[in-house]
Structures are given as C-alpha cells and as structure tokens.
Amino acid sequence: NAGVTQTPKFQVLKTGQSMTLQCAQDMNHEYMSWYRQDPGMGLRLIHYSVGAGITDQGEVPNGYNVSRSTTEDFPLRLLSAAPSQTSVYFCASSYSVRGVAGELFFGEGSRLTVL
C-alpha cells in the first residue's frame, strides 16, 4: 500500500509565484487535511475535507486554496507565494465517523522554500 503520497518532495519558488502541492491516498479515507510544520510551532492545520466536495478552513488558511473533487486527491494551492510560506507541508488522511476523524496517517512531507 502506498498510503499517503505527496509530490513534490522539494520545491523552491520566487515570491509571487503560484504552485500546487499534490496529495493522494489509496486507503479510501473520507477525511483529508493539510498541515504546515515550522520550528517550535508544531503542526498547524491549513485546510481539511470530510469528503468529496466538502472543504473547510483550519487554523492558518490565508494564502492557500484547496478543492476535493475525488475521495483520493486533495491538492493544496499557493496562490501568490510569500517568504512566510516557507515551511514543510504535510498531507494527512483518516477514516471518519459522521465527519469526525480518527487517527491521522501522514505523507512524507513537501519542503517548500520561497525566496
């Protein structure tokens, strides 16, 4: 099983550029989410989805956009990259019961640097 797959693993952007981080899971999980991890800050939730066609904002959504057209995929779009978005991004998925997620399964992460 591949689990949660994230691409790309590394990316360097210039300020103002846009890009999409891809996330795919093969566990038929309803719940998917994006986190960013910064030193001393822990994992902070950006956006999440409890099923295809349903998305919602997390703790730090500004500057990011998501969509969920299929159960398997949950891409994260950076609309106009800023140096403050330099971080490691993790996609995570989970089974859910009535929209309440269980244990999270994480991808390997995508390291983004914005110059």
Measured CA to CA, the distance from residue 15 to residue 40 in angstroms comes to 24
The helix, strand and coil proportions of the chain, stated in percent and rounded to the nearest 5, come to: 5, 55, 45
The 43-82 site mask, x for binding other proteins (CB under 8 A), equals xxx--x-x-----x-xx-----------------------
- The least CB distance from residue 15 to other proteins, in Å, is 25
**Do 96 and 30 form a contact (C-beta atoms < 8 A)?**
yes
Residue from 51, 61, 77, 105 in contact with other proteins (CB under 8 A): 105
How far apart CA 28 and CA 36 sit, in angstroms, is 23
Residues that bind other proteins in the complex, under the rule CB under 8 A: 4, 33, 35, 40-45, 48, 50, 56, 58-59, 90, 92, 98-101, 103-109
